[in-house]
């Protein structure tokens, strides 16, 4: 549901981030490749997994704040995961 970050470190004044491989790429690319020909089961499954990912975050007090097809990644095995948490926030009582 959420893209895994294996390691992150600073090396020679650059930030290196090692993320889980999602070999089919962003949902945006898949939509473009299909040129409007969508399988209903694929759409339902993708939306289900996206909502499950958001539910996972919200139960932990995290708001993604940048949900779009560029930030939904798909793997060859059919995994659908949320990515790019640059605008996310941790909710608090304040």
* Global confidence as pTM: 0.84
**Total number of domains constituting the chain:** 1
28, part of any domain: yes
CATH number of domain containing 80: 1.10.510.10
Annotated catalytic residue, options 66, 70, 79, 84:
66
Residue 10 backbone phi and psi in degrees, to 5: -95, 130
Is residue 60 included in any domain, yes or no?
Answer: yes
Is 72 contained in some domain?
A: yes
| C-alpha distances in Å from residue 80, one per residue of 9, 11, 12, 56, 63 | 26, 30, 33, 13, 18
Residue 39 designated active-site: no
Asked whether the beta carbons of 2 and 82 are under 8 A apart, the reply is yes
pLDDT by 10s per residue, the chain, length 94? 889 999 999 999 999 999 999 999 999 998 888 776 778 898 899 999 999 999 999 999 999 999 999 999 999 998 999 999 989 999 988 7
Is 56 a domain residue?
Answer: yes
Residue 55 belongs to a domain? yes
Range of the domain at 75: 23-90
């Amino acid at each position: 549901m959420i893209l895994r970050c294996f390691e992150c470190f600073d090396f020679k004044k650059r930030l290196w981030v090692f993320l889980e491989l999602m070999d089919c790429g962003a949902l945006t690319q898949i939509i473009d490749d299909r040129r409007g020909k969508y399988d209903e089961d694929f759409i339902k499954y993708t939306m289900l997994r996206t909502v499950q990912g958001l539910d996972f975050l919200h139960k932990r007090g995290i708001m993604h704040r940048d949900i779009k097809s560029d930030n939904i990644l798909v793997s060859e095995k059919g995994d659908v995961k949320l990515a790019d948490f640059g605008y996310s926030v941790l909710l608090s009582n304040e």
